[in-house]
Structure 1
Amino acid sequence: MRRLIALAALSAMAVATTAQAETWKSYAKTPTGLEWSYDTDYSYRDTQTGKVVVMQAVGKPGAEPRMGPSGPGKADGVGFVTAIDCKNKALISLGGYSPKKPLELSGNWRTATGAPAKSAEDKALVESACQGADQLTAK
């Protein structure tokens, strides 16, 4: 019986660790040394709209103390969740987060009109996240 409980506990920890995984892919660097990345483990294709949804965060490689990229709830986590209309190259913000502000997602983002990607960082995000969008998990 103890083995069964131990096995169940280990399985639960493995699932929890997998669900919390963050694999950040850099897509833009700024002249000030900041680096924008998105979490490929979080990324998915929305089944209702066809849009790609990503969690993006800012970081500064080599900074001490460590500065991102990180997800919500972390001491160095600063970022946004964004829906991308790959066809029209437009972005819709679902919500943002920082160490002092928890992530709250918009409930009506699916009906919102996206803003065209204008900045170099936004254009780079669209290009990077939309490559292989058809391979993303649909949710």
Structure 2
Amino acid sequence: MSLSCEGTPCHFLRVNDVQIYDAQQPKVFEEALRLGIVKQTGHWWQKNREMFLNLPSGSHEVVVKVYPISPLKAEAFHLIHRFDAHQRYRLVFYRQSRDTQKAKSLLESSAPMPLCVDLRQDEKTLRSFCRRADVVTGFGEFKEVSRSF
């Protein structure tokens, strides 16, 4: 199965216990390449190549670093999911639109829109998560949200 990102640049940091990407010295770890876990699009000389995971079926913990605002501001997303064999999965990142009618204060209405991510298998959304802005402490955690599909 394969797993990729859409909507914002991302780096896969870890899958289970295998380190994928070193954010300190932007590079992919040799072990991840040797095991065939990570693949990259484009040519080796291109600076910003997209990466995707190539994993066996089963339960995996995936840690993703995303850059929804700028390359200098990263957010972390952790996912534990049971992936099926021979399937194509995507993590689709987006900003959730806000209903301004429900804002209780000016401070709440000025807070950034929640950052959300859908786990999709082909075109079907399997799971959705959102990270809402807390007006006092900043962003909270990604929490799974129920959706009516």
> TM-score scaled by structure 2?
0.27
Q: Quick check: which one's helix share is greater?
A: 1
> TM-score scaled by structure 1?
0.28
